[in-house]
Amino acid sequence: MHGMLKVVPRFIDSVYNEKRMHSSLGYFSPEEFEELAERKQLQKQGLQPVMILPGNLSN
Percentage of the chain beyond pLDDT 70 is 80
* 3-class state of residue 22 by DSSP: strand
Q: Are 10 and 1 in contact (CB under 8 A)?
A: no
pLDDT score, position 6: 80
51 vs 48: which has the higher pLDDT: 48
CA distance 6 to 50: 31
Average pLDDT, stretch 28-53?
82
Query: 34-42 — which CB contacts under 8 Å span 24+ positions?
Result: none
**40 residue type, one letter:** K
pLDDT score, position 52: 59
Average pLDDT, stretch 38-58?
73
How sure is the predictor about 50, in pLDDT bands with cuts at 50, 70 and 90?
low
